[in-house]
Copies of this chain bind each other. A is one copy, B any other.
Amino acid sequence: MESQHVSRGPVPHGHVTLSQVAQRAGVSAQSVSNALNNPDRLAPATLERILATVAELGYEPNLSARALRNRSSHLIAFKVRPSRPDKASLLMDEFLYALNRSAVAAGYHLILCHAEGEGSTEEIKAYRDLLKKTPVDAFVLAETHRNDDRVAALRSWGVPFATFGRSWDGDDSLAWVDVDGRAGTRAATEHVVAQGHRRIGHVGWLAESEIGQERREGWLEACRERGLPTDLQAAVADTLEDGRQAAHRMLDAPEPATALVCASDTLALGVLRALHERGLRPGVEVAVTGFDDSPTAALVSPGLTTLRQPIDVVGRQLIQAVENLIAGDPREPQHVLLQPDLIVRGSSLPGPRPSTATP
């Protein structure tokens, strides 16, 4: 195979063009183009011959030329953000891999954006600059929030995009994929109830976080339904230290918590640190659960019970969503709410610590 390089001098990267294929197949360039983009316009025999030649020469359409002509680069843009050192990796790693895998499977490539700092102004500027330079087919946004400027900007430019994070403004025209934090926290709460806990605290995020509120409500509902007290709760920033301090408060309460359901692995790890400082054994004296199944959760001892987001499905659905948008699918944009999986590890189990690690 790959027999085209026959004494023609240094062919860079084996550049094969449409017209070379055409020449070889004895047809016009246009027919080759049609074979690839509008196969039904060709006679079956011609089509077959052209396709064979395409395969023989290993031809791949030049993206730049296509982009120039079609104003479509087959590129999907995504902004990577700095991983904060004090946080359990919010699975960006995994997410990016999943997103890219699906993008490539759909014939796209991921192009990365950069914006300094946290503000959306910088990010929007980065998007705009990129759009000026190249006709990006779609954007994928992560971590949406209420009144998200980025959503407004992209919409005003008419660029297709989908978000990892639901529309918090009740905006049905947004294509989004999200994970059900409420159901997840509820599952975690029910799990510790099943372990016999009745005094269950919640270490959650600040009230301005929509995600945090969702997760808090899952805990609230589960407790209320069972007539359990809900007075032990904290609304703090997502740092280890905040989790640690919240835990100390709830363990210093007149009627201390025996289980702490947290809004994130980071907070849960702070709780574990507090337990460590007090000489309390996770799972045995105090059950702890996190959220995200960050790599850390499986690596601490004992392992941290947490909620795993089906991140590969998220990636697939996001690509699916932008594909539909790009194709101009007239149907309502997709809204996909996925269920997280409760991963039970030692931090919430009173039983004897398993002597082998999680397989």
Residues of chain A whose beta carbon lies under 8 Å from any beta carbon of chain B: 12-16, 58-65, 67-68, 71, 73, 75, 80-83, 85-89, 92-94, 96-97, 100-101, 103-104, 109-114, 116, 129-135, 157-159, 240-241, 244, 266, 269-270, 272-273, 276-277, 294-296, 298-302, 353, 355-357
Q: Are A13 and B157 in contact (CB under 8 A)?
A: yes
Tell whether A357 pairs with B240 under 8 Å between CB atoms, given A157-B13, A299-B266, A300-B269: yes
Q: Which residues of B contact A302 (CB under 8 A)?
A: 276
Q: Are A63 and B114 in contact (CB under 8 A)?
A: no
Which residue of B13, B111, B135 contacts A109 across the interface (Cβ within 8 Å)?
B111
Q: Are A299 and B88 in contact (CB under 8 A)?
A: yes
Q: Could you tell me the distance between the alpha carbons of A281 and B200 in the complex, rounded to whole angstroms?
A: 29
Tell whether A240 pairs with B298 under 8 Å between CB atoms, given A14-B132, A60-B133: yes
Q: Are A88 and B295 in contact (CB under 8 A)?
A: yes
How many subunits of this chain does the assembly comprise? 2
Tell whether A104 pairs with B94 under 8 Å between CB atoms, given A60-B133, A240-B298: no
A-B contact pairs, 9 of them (CB 8 A): A13-B157, A13-B159, A59-B132, A60-B132, A62-B133, A63-B64, A86-B299, A103-B114, A273-B357
CB distance from A88 to the nearest CB of B (A): 6
CB distance from A123 to the nearest CB of B (A): 13
Query: Which B residue's beta carbon lies closest to that of A92?
Result: B93
Q: Could you tell me the distance between the alpha carbons of A13 and B160 in the complex, rounded to whole angstroms?
A: 12
Could you list 17 further interchain pairs (A-B, Cβ under 8 angstroms) beyond the known A64-B64, A240-B357? Answer: A13-B131, A13-B157, A16-B132, A62-B68, A62-B133, A64-B134, A82-B97, A83-B93, A86-B299, A88-B299, A101-B114, A101-B116, A109-B112, A110-B112, A111-B111, A273-B357, A277-B301
CB distance from A220 to the nearest CB of B (A): 27
Tell whether A114 pairs with B100 under 8 Å between CB atoms, given A68-B68, A83-B94, A300-B300: yes
CB distance from A265 to the nearest CB of B (A): 8
Q: Which residues of B contact A276 (CB under 8 A)?
A: 301-302
CB distance from A232 to the nearest CB of B (A): 21
Which residue of B13, B116, B298 contacts A132 across the interface (Cβ within 8 Å)?
B13
Q: Are B80 and A298 in contact (CB under 8 A)?
A: no
Tell whether A299 pairs with B240 under 8 Å between CB atoms, given A64-B134, A133-B60: yes
Q: Could you tell me the distance between the alpha carbons of A83 and B97 in the complex, rounded to whole angstroms?
A: 8
Q: Which residues of B contact A60 (CB under 8 A)?
A: 129, 132-133
Q: Could you tell me the distance between the alpha carbons of A241 and B132 in the complex, rounded to whole angstroms?
A: 50
Q: Could you tell me the distance between the alpha carbons of A240 and B295 in the complex, rounded to whole angstroms?
A: 11
Q: Could you tell me the distance between the alpha carbons of A104 and B125 in the complex, rounded to whole angstroms?
A: 13
Q: Are A353 and B277 in contact (CB under 8 A)?
A: yes
Q: Which residues of B contact A272 (CB under 8 A)?
A: 301
Query: Which B residue's beta carbon lies closest to that of A109?
Result: B111
Q: Which residues of B contact A61 (CB under 8 A)?
A: 133
Q: Which residues of B contact A13 (CB under 8 A)?
A: 131-132, 135, 157-159
Q: 7 nearest interchain CB pairs?
A: A60-B132, A64-B67, A276-B301, A296-B296, A273-B301, A104-B114, A110-B112
